[in-house]
Amino acid sequence: MIGYRRVSTVEQNTARQLDGQTCDEIFEDKASGKDAGRPELRRMMQHARKGDVVLVHSMDRLARNVDDLRKIVSELNTKGVEVRFLKEALSFTGQQNPMSEMMLSILGAVAQFERSMILERQREGVAIAKAAGKYRGGVAKLKSEQVEKLKALLAGGMPKARAAREFGITRQTLYSYIAVERATKAN
């Protein structure tokens, strides 16, 4: 039994996913599900062997779009691995079953649609808040002197992942600081 859990940010908790399930190994990503290039997902895909069962809390934890969902499930099934989605109470073994294939596609499309609607509502809310002068964006994670120290460490050759850990920020936040620096230099 192999478990796969995913949340979108490092601040989120995976505790409710696979709660009460017994797994021999659990792979956990704290990254967006918008693409299938997540490190722990890739490790899980390589680790899974014929006869294994992969448990996932729900379809949207495995993939955010139908194409990725179908591809991941198909790749695991081709290896002889069963994929079980607990929330949807569905299991996919790779056996030709038109009903299962339809359910995977339909429920995957629902998850994709739901995500699109969330993003649309978020964009609308931000636009309204900006128009009202109430939107200022996120709070800066680092003070200006910390940003200067970060830039110096990176210029000195420190790996980005290590620098992010030392400053207690995500690599994405680090990349945002780098992008701001490049944009400032370009102007």
Catalytic annotation, pick one of 8, 58, 74, 100:
8
Q: Annotated catalytic, 8?
A: yes
HSE value, Cβ hemisphere, 13 Å, CA-based, for 152: 6
DSSP the chain: -EEEEEESSTTS--TTTTTT---SEEEEEES-TTSS--HHHHHHHHH--TT-EEEES-HHHH-SSHHHHHHHHHHHHHTT-EEEETTTTEEE-S---HHHHHHHHHHHHHHHHHHHHHHHHHHHHHHHHHHTT----SPPSS-HHHHHHHHHHHHTT--HHHHHHHHT--HHHHHHHHHHHHHHHH-
Q: Which two tokens stand for residue 20?
A: 């009460």
Instruction: Give the residue numbers annotated as catalytic, written as ranges.
Output: 8
